[in-house]
Structure 1
Amino acid sequence: MWPNQSIEFIKLEKDAEGSHLGLFVGEHLTSIISLFQTQEGVQFRKFATLTEAQGKGYGTQLLTEVFKRYSNGSVSRIWCNARVEKAKYYERFGLQRTNKTYRKGGIAFVVMEKLFCS
């Protein structure tokens, strides 16, 4: 998502506390996602697919796996900070836009969430 930024720009303070998943196509790491569990549920961040592999369903496979892992009632909420232009993609997974928005690096974001009944 930030190919022209330094690794310091991409790092998160709590990266060591997260779970980091990757999807390989052959020997090539193609899609990644980082998961951070808190009392509020699970937030996914750093969800990205190589530019040349986008549109082939790899990110969808990875995100589907995330929802399978957490749709068993182990968390009450899954959320992300979505680029506004990609919100419709996340709606396909049942996430809904909240009224929380912000800008980073000139990009508009909206917090999206999916609530699970417990």
Structure 2
Amino acid sequence: MGTIIKTIPAPATWSLRQAVMWPDKPLDYIKLPHDHLGLHFGLFRDEELVTVASLFIIDDNAQFRKLATKTSEQGKGYGSHMLQHLLKVAHSKGVEKIWCNARKEKTGFYHKLGLIETTQTFSKGNINYVVMEKMLP
């Protein structure tokens, strides 16, 4: 079987987003106001949804949001595989810069894939974030 990444509807991302990112919040907390404008992807391992992410493209910039891997499956390369897929999709659509709001404790993961920290930081729900970005060739 193996793994496959495919496009999925926004609501298919919500349950995993909530379980991984904000398990103590209601489901509505993880829904994005512009979810209907994004491209949503699911990484499936043997037909089980393991990782989700959403990509929002505006002109030649793209933001990826809500990259989440099932807790029991973290550290197995699924998040990296998903991010590489997002980079390819963004590049194919003419995106010049891709960026995200990274949790401070997760910056090492994004560094490995070529994103760099900017000076933009903020906090939400007692979690510190930094904007990270990568210029695409």
Q: Structure 2 length normalisation: TM-score?
A: 0.80
Q: 1:115 maps to what in 2?
A: 135
Q: % of aligned pairs identical? A: 46
Q: 1:95 maps to what in 2?
A: 115
Q: Residue type of the partner of 2:111?
A: E
2:77 to 40, 57, 75: 57
Unaligned 5+ runs, structure 1: none
Output the CA distance in 1 between the equivalents of 2:128 and 2:65: 15
| Residue 26 (structure 1) aligned with residue 46 (structure 2) | yes
Q: Residue type of the partner of 1:29?
A: L
- CA offset at residue 16 of structure 1? 0.4
The answer to whether the 8 Å contact 2:50/2:70 transfers is yes
Q: Structure 1 length normalisation: TM-score?
A: 0.92
Output the CA distance in 2 between the equivalents of 1:27 and 1:72: 26
1:13 to 30, 33, 43: 33
Q: Residue type of the partner of 2:98?
A: I
Classify 1:17/1:115 alpha carbon distance in 2 versus 1 (closer, same or farther; 3 Å). same
Superimposed CA distance per residue, residues 5-50 of structure 1 (whole angstroms, 9 cap, x where no aligned partner): 1111101110000010000111210000000011351100010000
The answer to whether the 8 Å contact 1:73/1:116 transfers is no
Output the CA distance in 2 between the equivalents of 1:86 and 1:101: 14
**Farther off after superposition, 66-75 or 4-13:** 66-75
Unaligned 5+ runs, structure 2: 1-20
Runs of 4+ more than 4 Å apart = none
Output the CA distance in 1 between the equivalents of 2:78 and 2:100: 18
Classify 1:62/1:51 alpha carbon distance in 2 versus 1 (closer, same or farther; 3 Å). same
Q: Residue type of the partner of 1:113?
A: E
Report the structure, 1 or 2, having the larger helix content. 2
